[in-house]
C-alpha cells in the first residue's frame, strides 16, 4: 500500500509538549483500567505503574471486590473501584452499569490484563465494547473475549452483519494483539480474503501489514499488531515501527505497550492515532535503554517501565 510510514524517530513530537507551571492533573488525562482476577492480581499493578509512568494524571482501577484487601495496601483508596465479582473472583456482569458510569468521566478505558477467561467476564467485556462511549484499549484477556464474541456471532450471522455490527460502537476501539491473539480473532472472523490461505501464527507474523488492515477494516478499529516491526493501522494509514528489537520479546512486554498506549490516548484523546504511534516509539526506546543497562536476554517487562522515564526524557531532549 502507498501510505506506509516507517517509524525510526518520533513522528509526532508535538505530543510531548512542555507542561505549563499551572497544570492540573486532569489535564494529563484520566484513565479507567479494568484488570485483575484471582491469581492475576499482579497484572493490574503492572498496568497501573505503566500508565502512571507514561504521564497520566488520574487513574482509576476497577477490579473484583474480593481482591480489595490486596489492592488497598498498594494503591490509594481514591484510585480503586471495587466491582461485583463472580464465584471465581473475576469481574461480574453486575458491575456493568458502575463501569459505564465511571467511564463517562474518563478519557480512555484500558481493558483486559488479568481479567481471566471466566464466561461471565467474557460476556461483560463484549457488552462493554458497545456501551462505553470513550476510547477502549483492548489487550490480553480482552482480546480473547472479543475473539469469543466474534466466534459466537459468526456462527449465526454473515460477515456483512459482523462488519455492520462493529460500526455501531459508540467509541473508538484500539486492539493491541500479538500474532497469537490476532490468530484467534482472524479464525473467528473467517474473512473472505483469507479463505484459500492456511493461517498460522507464523503466517500472521510474516504478514502483519495484511492482517492489521483486515482486522481494522472488519472490526472498525485501530490495530496495533505487536512484535518485530510492530504495525499500526487505521483508515488507510500504516506505520511500521523500526525502534523496538528482540529485547522486547519477553512476557508482559506487550501488555506494558498497551498500557502506555492507553496513557497517551488519555492525554491526547483527540489524536488517537498519533498518541498510539508515540507510545509504540517510547516503548521501543525504553526497551533499547533497558537492553543497554541489563542486557537483551535479561530484560523483563518491569524494566521497560523502569526505563520509560529515561526514554521520555531522551525523546524530549531530541525535539
pLDDT 10s digits, 230-240: 999 999 999 99
For the chain, domains (ranges, CATH) are: 4-317 (3.40.1190.20)
Provide the pairing of β-strand 136-138 with 108-111.
Answer: parallel
* CA gap 313, 132 in Å, rounded: 34
So what's the pLDDT on residue 177? 96
Short-list 39, 38, 41, 87, CA closest to 61: 41
Confidence grade of residue 225 (pLDDT, cut at 50, 70, 90): very high
* CA gap 215, 84 in Å, rounded: 32
* CA gap 81, 131 in Å, rounded: 19
Three-class SS of residue 135?
coil
pLDDT 10s digits, 165-198: 999 999 999 999 999 999 999 999 999 989 889 9
Amino acid at each position: 500500500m502507498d501510505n506506509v510510514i516507517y517509524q525510526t524517530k518520533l513522528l509526532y513530537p508535538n505530543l510531548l509538549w512542555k507542561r505549563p507551571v499551572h497544570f492540573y492533573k486532569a489535564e494529563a488525562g484520566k484513565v479507567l483500567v479494568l484488570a485483575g482476577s484471582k491469581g492475576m492480581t499482579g497484572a493490574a499493578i503492572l498496568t497501573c505503574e505503566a500508565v502512571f509512568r507514561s504521564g497520566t494524571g488520574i487513574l482509576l482501577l476497577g477490579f473484583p471486590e474480593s481482591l480489595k484487601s490486596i489492592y488497598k495496601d498498594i494503591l490509594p483508596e481514591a484510585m480503586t473501584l471495587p466491582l461485583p465479582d463472580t464465584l471465581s473472583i473475576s469481574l461480574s456482569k453486575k458491575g456493568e452499569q458502575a463501569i459505564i458510569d465511571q467511564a463517562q468521566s474518563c478519557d480512555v478505558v484500558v481493558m483486559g490484563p488479568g481479567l481471566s477467561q471466566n464466561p461471565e467476564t467474557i460476556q461483560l467485556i463484549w457488552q462493554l465494547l458497545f456501551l462505553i462511549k470513550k476510547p477502549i484499549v483492548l489487550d490480553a484477556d480482552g482480546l480473547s473475549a472479543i475473539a469469543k464474541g466474534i466466534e459466537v456471532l459468526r456462527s449465526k450471522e454473515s460477515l456483512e452483519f459482523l462488519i455492520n455490527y462493529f460500526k455501531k460502537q459508540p467509541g473508538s476501539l484500539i486492539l493491541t494483539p500479538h500474532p497469537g491473539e490476532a490468530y484467534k480473532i482472524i479464525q473467528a472472523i473467517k474473512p473472505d480474503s483469507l479463505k484459500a490461505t492456511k493461517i498460522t501464527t507464523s503466517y500472521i507474523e510474516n504478514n502483519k501489514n495484511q492482517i492489521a488492515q483486515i482486522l481494522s477494516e472488519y472490526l472498525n478499529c485501530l490495530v496495533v499488531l505487536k512484535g518485530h516491526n510492530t504495525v499500526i493501522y487505521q483508515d488507510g494509514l500504516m506505520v511500521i515501527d523500526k525502534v523496538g528489537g528482540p529485547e522486547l520479546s519477553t512476557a508482559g512486554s506487550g501488555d506494558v505497550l498497551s498500557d502506555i498506549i492507553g496513557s497517551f490516548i488519555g492525554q491526547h484523546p483527540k489524536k488517537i492515532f498519533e498518541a498510539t504511534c508515540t507510545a509504540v516509539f517510547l516503548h521501543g526506546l525504553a526497551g533499547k535503554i533497558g537492553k543497554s543497562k541489563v542486557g537483551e536476554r535479561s530484560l523483563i517487562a518491569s524494566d521497560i517501565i523502569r526505563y520509560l522515564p529515561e526514554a521520555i526524557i531522551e525523546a524530549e531532549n531530541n525535539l
